[in-house]
Amino acid sequence: MLVRNGSFIVAVDGSRMSIFRNIGEAFKPSLELVEEHQNPRFKSSELGDDRAGRNAQSSSPRKGAYEQTDLHQQEEDRFSREAAERMELLMKDSTNGLILVAAPRALGMIRQYIGPATSKQLSAEIAKDFGPHDAEPLTKMLEKYEA
């Protein structure tokens, strides 16, 4: 994959975001870590203690329950929105390209919150849950990736 010199590579999953810059050649990238953000892991009791709601209709003896809200997923979605906001700030004054590597759900959330100017600077979107946010495995993956 072509990764221009000076391009930013952002790797995001539900709880971590790492921003790298290519300081190498286009087809032989060398990534340096610019910044890293981590979403703290909360226990369910810290996120909320609400139980699912109940529904009882007076005209029927049947009772029902509402689906339990996934508080951890809501927290991951919030982190994805913050990642999109950080990307907006990063690309505001930049003329370099941007490559986004994100877990599929995080990628969908980020797409909703980035503006048109940042979208135009996106060279590639890679829907991959990239667990280790180290430069070396990410570099190898980018070298092998075909857009």
Q: Token digits for 133?
A: 């946010």
Q: pLDDT tens digits for 77-104?
A: 888 899 999 999 999 888 889 999 998 9
Contacts of 82 (CB under 8 A, 6+ apart): 37
Mean per-residue pLDDT, 66-74: 68
- For the entire predicted model, the pTM comes to 0.77
Strands of the sheet containing 16-22, edge to edge, are 31-38, 16-22, 8-12, 98-102, 122-127
Q: Token digits for 52?
A: 């699912």
According to the model, what pLDDT value does residue 85 have? 93
Tell me which residue of 145, 100, 102, 96 sits closest to 121, measured CA to CA: 96
For residues 67 and 93, give the distance between their C-alpha atoms in angstroms, rounded to a whole number: 44
The answer to whether residue 2 scores a pLDDT higher than 80 is: yes
According to the model, what pLDDT value does residue 48 have? 55
For residues 122 and 127, give the distance between their C-alpha atoms in angstroms, rounded to a whole number: 13
Can you list the domains of the chain with their CATH numbers? 1-39+96-147 (3.30.420.60)
